[in-house]
Structure 1
Amino acid sequence: MDLSLAVLFLAGLITGFSKFSVGGMGLLVLPIVMIAFPGPEALGVLLPLYIITDLMAIASYRSKIDWSVLARFLPLAFLGVFVGSYFLANVDADQFLTFLGVTIIAMIGLGLYLDFRPAAFMRKPWAAYSMGFFGGVISMIANAAGPIFSLFLLEQKLEKASYVSTRAWAFFIINLVKLPFYIGLGLLSVESTEASLYAIPGLIIGSFIGFHFLKKVNPIQFKWMIRIMSALAAFKLFLFS
């Protein structure tokens, strides 16, 4: 139980810090939680934490939401959540580990692409629909769709406040849609929710640190540190799959 508490505190700390600072740490949280909760059940432990941080984020960013952008992105994301739930219902633990490792590496690659290449094609309607679908699938299966959401939203040329607000609401809505699927799959239960509660102290501390110390963080160096750590976590998943 001591290990589980330490893992949950760390997961909460990272989740809160990521939500209110430079972001990009979602790729790292799930492998950490899987130390104490191996397999897809880790998803159910994390979802309440994400919804709590989503509520904190949308309370902070209540204005300038571009609903027209969300209207293009979300419908196919909902379909992606449904497809992802089918995958989770028919996957064993080893397959889940392999898929998660591949997903983390792919999302790191996407982040690198965004650093060095323009992606103006994202303003095309077909791109919005495809990114919505794949974002929904990856969010459902790995809670790691942040780079896909960013790829789409950055290319909509939104003002900074609108980008932050729209992104926060996209995460919140998709995570709410995931709730009944996780419950139906048995991944989210009273027991998993009780386990999630142990991460709240870390979540609060991480949010405070992220909010107040953002200006002191070198975002480029921090981003590379997270990518390296996430890549190591992915290779560890491959070793155990």
Structure 2
Amino acid sequence: MVANAGGPVMSMYFLATRTPMQVFLGTAAWFFAIVNLAKVPFLAGLGLFTPQVLLTDLLLAPLVVAGGLTGLRLAKRMPQRLFDRIVIVLTVLGAVTLLF
């Protein structure tokens, strides 16, 4: 269940290989979508999908869509260099958070 902890490592790999922003975002999104879908049976088996959790998910779903659309717009306008810098900062913050 800690597979998403690989995010900082994946980000640093993509930066090191100078992966273009669109490829970086698309690959990371697909990878973590597949990883999270693979977790669903285990989460269900643990009884973590309660009616309250599912209702909260339903209420927050429009925000996920809005965030995705906003991210697409930003990615189209953002220069690669700025994207790389933001990824570095967020990766360091994420890695430090994972340590604590």
Band the TM-score falls in, shorter-chain normalisation: 0.5 to 0.7
Match for 1:191 among 49, 52, 64? Answer: 52
Answer yes or no: is the 8 Å Cα contact 2:43–2:49 preserved in 1.
yes
TM-score by length of 2: 0.58
Summarize the Cα distance change of 1:175–1:231 in structure 2 as closer, same or farther, 3 Å threshold: closer
Summarize the Cα distance change of 1:198–1:144 in structure 2 as closer, same or farther, 3 Å threshold: farther
Q: Which residue of 1 aligns with 2:72?
A: 211
Q: Which residue of 1 aligns with 2:90?
A: 226
How big is each residue's C-alpha offset from its partner over 1:84-137, in whole Å with a ceiling of 9 and x where there is no partner? 4xxxxxxxxxxxxxxxxxxxxxxxxxxxxxxxxxxxxxxxxxxxxxxxxxxxxx
In 2: Cα distance, 1:227 partner to 1:147 partner: 5
Answer yes or no: is the 8 Å Cα contact 1:183–1:189 preserved in 2.
no
In 2: Cα distance, 1:149 partner to 1:221 partner: 15
In 2: Cα distance, 1:228 partner to 1:149 partner: 12
Structure 1: stretches of 5+ with no match in the other structure: 1-83, 85-137
Q: Runs of 4 or more off by more than 6 Å in structure 1?
A: 159-164
Higher fraction of helix: 2
* Rg (Cα) greater in structure: 1
How big is the shift at 1:206? 1.4
1:181 equivalent in alignment to 2:45: no
How big is the shift at 1:179? 0.3
| Paired residue secondary structure (2:5) | coil
TM-score by length of 1: 0.30
> Aligned pair count?
93
- CA RMSD in angstroms comes to 3.7
| Paired residue secondary structure (1:144) | helix
